[in-house]
Amino acid sequence: MGMFTGKTAVITGAARGIGRAIAEKLASEGADLALCDLQTDWLTDTAEAVKALGVKVECFDADVSKGEDADKVIAGVLDTYGKIDIMVNNAGITKDGLMMRMSESDWDAVMSVNLKGTFLFSKAAAKPMMKQRNGVIVNIASIIGLIGNAGQCNYAASKAGVIALTKSTAKELAARNIRVNAVAPGFIQSKMTDALSDDVKSMLLDRIPAKRFGVPEDVANAVAFLAGDNSSYMTGQVLTVSGGMVM
Protein backbone atom coordinates (compact mmCIF):
# COMPACT_ATOMS: atom_id res chain seq x y z
CA MET A 1 0.00 0.00 0.00
CA GLY A 2 1.33 3.45 -0.93
CA MET A 3 1.38 6.65 1.11
CA PHE A 4 -1.56 8.00 -0.94
CA THR A 5 -3.65 4.87 -1.52
CA GLY A 6 -7.34 5.86 -1.38
CA LYS A 7 -6.52 9.58 -1.85
CA THR A 8 -7.50 11.80 -4.76
CA ALA A 9 -5.10 14.45 -6.08
CA VAL A 10 -5.69 17.28 -8.57
CA ILE A 11 -2.58 18.53 -10.40
CA THR A 12 -2.56 21.54 -12.73
CA GLY A 13 -0.03 21.87 -15.55
CA ALA A 14 0.45 18.09 -15.44
CA ALA A 15 1.18 17.55 -19.15
CA ARG A 16 4.96 17.81 -18.87
CA GLY A 17 7.96 18.83 -16.78
CA ILE A 18 7.53 19.18 -13.03
CA GLY A 19 3.74 18.62 -13.18
CA ARG A 20 4.22 15.27 -14.91
CA ALA A 21 6.86 14.23 -12.34
CA ILE A 22 4.44 15.15 -9.52
CA ALA A 23 1.71 13.06 -11.18
CA GLU A 24 4.06 10.07 -11.48
CA LYS A 25 5.27 10.39 -7.87
CA LEU A 26 1.78 10.67 -6.33
CA ALA A 27 0.50 7.81 -8.54
CA SER A 28 3.49 5.65 -7.57
CA GLU A 29 2.28 6.09 -3.97
CA GLY A 30 -1.27 5.04 -4.94
CA ALA A 31 -3.13 8.36 -5.48
CA ASP A 32 -5.97 8.52 -8.00
CA LEU A 33 -5.43 11.59 -10.15
CA ALA A 34 -7.22 14.42 -11.91
CA LEU A 35 -4.82 16.08 -14.34
CA CYS A 36 -5.39 19.51 -15.91
CA ASP A 37 -3.58 21.28 -18.72
CA LEU A 38 -4.09 23.28 -21.89
CA GLN A 39 -1.86 20.84 -23.84
CA THR A 40 -4.20 17.88 -24.13
CA ASP A 41 -1.92 15.75 -26.37
CA TRP A 42 0.92 15.75 -23.86
CA LEU A 43 -1.61 15.34 -21.04
CA THR A 44 -2.79 12.09 -22.64
CA ASP A 45 0.84 10.86 -22.61
CA THR A 46 1.15 11.65 -18.90
CA ALA A 47 -2.19 9.92 -18.22
CA GLU A 48 -1.06 6.75 -20.04
CA ALA A 49 2.20 6.70 -18.04
CA VAL A 50 0.44 7.02 -14.67
CA LYS A 51 -2.36 4.57 -15.57
CA ALA A 52 0.36 1.96 -15.97
CA LEU A 53 1.02 2.42 -12.23
CA GLY A 54 -2.47 1.02 -11.55
CA VAL A 55 -4.32 4.15 -10.42
CA LYS A 56 -7.40 5.92 -11.81
CA VAL A 57 -6.81 9.02 -13.94
CA GLU A 58 -9.15 11.70 -15.30
CA CYS A 59 -7.91 14.43 -17.68
CA PHE A 60 -9.32 17.94 -17.93
CA ASP A 61 -8.69 20.45 -20.70
CA ALA A 62 -8.61 23.51 -18.46
CA ASP A 63 -7.12 27.00 -18.38
CA VAL A 64 -6.19 27.72 -14.75
CA SER A 65 -6.67 31.46 -15.27
CA LYS A 66 -10.44 30.98 -15.82
CA GLY A 67 -12.73 30.68 -12.81
CA GLU A 68 -15.30 28.65 -14.77
CA ASP A 69 -12.59 26.08 -15.67
CA ALA A 70 -11.58 25.73 -12.01
CA ASP A 71 -15.22 25.16 -11.01
CA LYS A 72 -15.70 22.68 -13.91
CA VAL A 73 -12.62 20.64 -12.94
CA ILE A 74 -13.50 20.47 -9.24
CA ALA A 75 -17.13 19.52 -10.03
CA GLY A 76 -15.86 16.81 -12.41
CA VAL A 77 -13.45 15.47 -9.78
CA LEU A 78 -16.24 15.30 -7.18
CA ASP A 79 -18.49 13.49 -9.70
CA THR A 80 -15.82 10.89 -10.43
CA TYR A 81 -14.10 10.42 -7.09
CA GLY A 82 -16.52 11.96 -4.55
CA LYS A 83 -13.73 13.91 -2.75
CA ILE A 84 -10.51 15.87 -3.13
CA ASP A 85 -7.64 15.19 -0.74
CA ILE A 86 -4.71 16.95 -2.45
CA MET A 87 -4.63 20.04 -4.68
CA VAL A 88 -1.31 20.80 -6.40
CA ASN A 89 -1.14 24.21 -8.12
CA ASN A 90 1.75 23.69 -10.52
CA ALA A 91 0.76 25.35 -13.86
CA GLY A 92 3.00 28.32 -14.55
CA ILE A 93 4.44 30.39 -17.39
CA THR A 94 7.21 32.91 -17.99
CA LYS A 95 7.19 35.96 -20.26
CA ASP A 96 10.57 37.45 -19.46
CA GLY A 97 11.88 40.91 -20.20
CA LEU A 98 13.33 43.93 -18.45
CA MET A 99 10.68 46.02 -16.73
CA MET A 100 11.29 49.01 -19.02
CA ARG A 101 10.49 46.86 -22.06
CA MET A 102 7.76 44.69 -20.55
CA SER A 103 4.31 45.03 -22.08
CA GLU A 104 1.18 45.26 -19.97
CA SER A 105 -0.08 42.07 -21.66
CA ASP A 106 3.06 40.10 -20.62
CA TRP A 107 2.59 41.32 -17.03
CA ASP A 108 -1.10 40.35 -17.05
CA ALA A 109 -0.56 36.92 -18.67
CA VAL A 110 1.98 35.80 -16.06
CA MET A 111 -0.11 37.13 -13.16
CA SER A 112 -3.25 35.45 -14.53
CA VAL A 113 -1.76 31.97 -14.84
CA ASN A 114 0.71 31.87 -11.93
CA LEU A 115 -1.07 33.86 -9.23
CA LYS A 116 -4.76 34.09 -10.19
CA GLY A 117 -4.76 30.44 -11.35
CA THR A 118 -3.42 29.35 -7.96
CA PHE A 119 -6.08 31.45 -6.20
CA LEU A 120 -8.93 30.10 -8.38
CA PHE A 121 -8.02 26.42 -7.96
CA SER A 122 -7.28 26.84 -4.23
CA LYS A 123 -10.70 28.44 -3.73
CA ALA A 124 -12.56 25.82 -5.77
CA ALA A 125 -10.77 22.90 -4.06
CA ALA A 126 -11.08 24.39 -0.57
CA LYS A 127 -14.89 24.30 -0.75
CA PRO A 128 -15.19 20.47 -0.66
CA MET A 129 -12.13 20.24 1.60
CA MET A 130 -13.86 22.49 4.16
CA LYS A 131 -16.92 20.21 4.08
CA GLN A 132 -14.67 17.15 4.49
CA ARG A 133 -12.71 18.99 7.23
CA ASN A 134 -9.61 17.58 5.61
CA GLY A 135 -7.28 18.45 2.75
CA VAL A 136 -3.85 19.56 1.60
CA ILE A 137 -2.91 22.26 -0.89
CA VAL A 138 0.63 22.47 -2.31
CA ASN A 139 1.54 25.50 -4.44
CA ILE A 140 4.58 25.58 -6.73
CA ALA A 141 6.33 28.91 -6.19
CA SER A 142 9.97 29.61 -7.17
CA ILE A 143 13.17 30.86 -5.56
CA ILE A 144 12.71 33.84 -7.90
CA GLY A 145 9.70 34.79 -5.74
CA LEU A 146 12.07 34.93 -2.76
CA ILE A 147 15.14 36.65 -4.23
CA GLY A 148 13.88 38.43 -7.39
CA ASN A 149 15.57 38.35 -10.79
CA ALA A 150 16.43 40.99 -13.36
CA GLY A 151 14.34 40.32 -16.47
CA GLN A 152 11.60 38.49 -14.56
CA CYS A 153 9.76 41.16 -12.56
CA ASN A 154 6.36 39.76 -13.60
CA TYR A 155 7.33 36.15 -12.77
CA ALA A 156 9.05 37.14 -9.49
CA ALA A 157 6.01 39.18 -8.39
CA SER A 158 3.63 36.35 -9.32
CA LYS A 159 5.65 33.78 -7.33
CA ALA A 160 6.07 36.14 -4.34
CA GLY A 161 2.29 36.48 -4.58
CA VAL A 162 1.93 32.68 -4.52
CA ILE A 163 3.99 32.61 -1.31
CA ALA A 164 1.82 35.31 0.31
CA LEU A 165 -1.33 33.51 -0.89
CA THR A 166 0.02 30.27 0.62
CA LYS A 167 0.59 31.88 4.03
CA SER A 168 -2.77 33.71 4.06
CA THR A 169 -4.83 30.71 3.00
CA ALA A 170 -2.90 28.51 5.47
CA LYS A 171 -4.07 30.86 8.24
CA GLU A 172 -7.67 30.88 6.94
CA LEU A 173 -7.97 27.11 6.53
CA ALA A 174 -5.90 25.63 9.39
CA ALA A 175 -8.89 25.42 11.75
CA ARG A 176 -10.68 23.26 9.13
CA ASN A 177 -7.78 20.79 9.11
CA ILE A 178 -6.59 21.98 5.68
CA ARG A 179 -2.84 22.57 5.29
CA VAL A 180 -1.38 24.89 2.65
CA ASN A 181 2.34 24.89 1.84
CA ALA A 182 4.57 25.88 -1.07
CA VAL A 183 7.62 24.44 -2.79
CA ALA A 184 10.12 26.96 -4.17
CA PRO A 185 12.26 25.19 -6.78
CA GLY A 186 15.57 26.57 -7.95
CA PHE A 187 16.88 25.75 -11.43
CA ILE A 188 15.27 22.50 -12.54
CA GLN A 189 16.10 20.71 -15.82
CA SER A 190 13.15 21.42 -18.10
CA LYS A 191 12.25 22.70 -21.55
CA MET A 192 12.88 26.17 -20.06
CA THR A 193 16.41 25.47 -18.75
CA ASP A 194 17.34 23.30 -21.81
CA ALA A 195 17.09 26.46 -23.91
CA LEU A 196 19.83 28.28 -21.93
CA SER A 197 23.26 28.70 -23.54
CA ASP A 198 26.26 26.77 -22.14
CA ASP A 199 27.72 30.05 -20.82
CA VAL A 200 24.55 30.88 -18.89
CA LYS A 201 24.34 27.29 -17.59
CA SER A 202 27.91 27.36 -16.26
CA MET A 203 27.34 30.81 -14.71
CA LEU A 204 24.26 29.44 -12.93
CA LEU A 205 26.08 26.28 -11.79
CA ASP A 206 28.71 28.49 -10.13
CA ARG A 207 25.93 29.84 -7.89
CA ILE A 208 24.56 26.39 -6.94
CA PRO A 209 26.53 24.81 -4.03
CA ALA A 210 25.33 21.30 -5.10
CA LYS A 211 26.90 21.95 -8.56
CA ARG A 212 23.98 20.51 -10.52
CA PHE A 213 20.58 21.58 -11.76
CA GLY A 214 17.66 19.88 -10.07
CA VAL A 215 15.48 17.34 -11.84
CA PRO A 216 11.66 17.39 -11.80
CA GLU A 217 11.70 14.40 -9.41
CA ASP A 218 13.50 16.54 -6.77
CA VAL A 219 10.47 18.86 -6.73
CA ALA A 220 7.99 15.95 -6.88
CA ASN A 221 9.60 14.40 -3.77
CA ALA A 222 9.13 17.67 -1.84
CA VAL A 223 5.50 17.88 -3.00
CA ALA A 224 4.87 14.31 -1.83
CA PHE A 225 6.33 15.16 1.59
CA LEU A 226 4.09 18.24 1.94
CA ALA A 227 1.04 16.35 0.64
CA GLY A 228 1.51 13.44 3.06
CA ASP A 229 1.09 12.83 6.77
CA ASN A 230 4.84 13.14 7.45
CA SER A 231 4.32 16.94 7.32
CA SER A 232 1.07 16.94 9.31
CA TYR A 233 2.25 19.75 11.67
CA MET A 234 3.45 22.01 8.82
CA THR A 235 1.34 24.73 7.25
CA GLY A 236 2.11 28.09 5.64
CA GLN A 237 5.68 26.99 4.89
CA VAL A 238 7.90 27.42 1.84
CA LEU A 239 10.20 24.48 1.16
CA THR A 240 13.13 25.53 -1.03
CA VAL A 241 14.51 22.89 -3.41
CA SER A 242 17.51 24.59 -4.98
CA GLY A 243 20.70 22.61 -4.29
CA GLY A 244 21.56 25.25 -1.69
CA MET A 245 21.34 28.21 -4.09
CA VAL A 246 18.94 29.93 -1.70
CA MET A 247 19.36 29.42 2.05
C-alpha to C-alpha distance for 108 and 68, rounded to whole angstroms: 19
The reply to whether 161 sits near ligand NAD by the rule CB under 6 A is no
Using CB under 6 A as the binding rule, whether residue 19 contacts ligand NAD is answered as: yes
The reply to whether 18 sits near ligand NAD by the rule CB under 6 A is yes
Q: Smallest distance, Å, CB 91 to ligand NAD?
A: 4
Q: Is 63 in the site for ligand NAD (CB under 6 A)?
A: yes
228 near ligand NAD (CB under 6 A): no
- Angle, helices 153-173 vs 117-132, to 10°: value is 10
Burial class (CB in 10 A: 0-12, 13-18, 19+), 177: middle
185 vs 228 by CB, closer to ligand NAD: 185
Smallest distance from ligand NAD to CB 62, Å = 6
d(C-alpha 30, C-alpha 23), whole Å? 11
- Residue 87 CB, shortest distance to ligand NAD, in Å, is 14
Closest CB to ligand NAD among residues 59, 129 = 59
Q: What is the footprint of ligand NAD within residues 66-85 (CB under 6 A)?
A: none
Residue 191 interacting with ligand NAD (CB under 6 A):
yes
Give the three-state DSSP class for 76.
helix
Q: Does 195 bind ligand NAD (CB under 6 A)?
A: no
Looking at beta carbons only, is 136 or 143 nearer to ligand NAD?
143
> Rounded to whole angstroms, how far apart are CA atoms 154 and 94?
8
DSSP string covering 191-241: HHHHTS-HHHHHHHHHT-TT-S-B-HHHHHHHHHHHHSGGGTT--S-EEEE
Of the candidates 24, 37, 85, 218, which one interacts with ligand NAD according to CB under 6 A? Answer: 37
Active site residue 233: no
Q: Are 89 and 182 in contact (CB under 8 A)?
A: no
Residue 87 β-bridge partners: 10, 137
- Residue 139 phi/psi, 5° resolution? -105, 135
One of 10, 23, 34, 38 touching ligand NAD (CB under 6 A) = 38
Residue tagged active-site, from 4, 60, 107, 155: 155
- Compare residues 175 and 211 and give the one whose CB is closer to ligand NAD: 211
- From its phi and psi, is residue 148 left (phi > 0), alpha (psi between -120 and 50) or beta? left
Q: Provide the strand spans (E) within 132-174.
A: 135-140
Query: Per CB under 6 A, does 64 bind ligand NAD?
Result: yes
Residue numbers at the binding site for ligand NAD (CB under 6 A): 12-13, 15-19, 36-39, 62-65, 90-93, 113, 140, 142, 185, 187-188, 190-193
Residues marked active site are found at 155
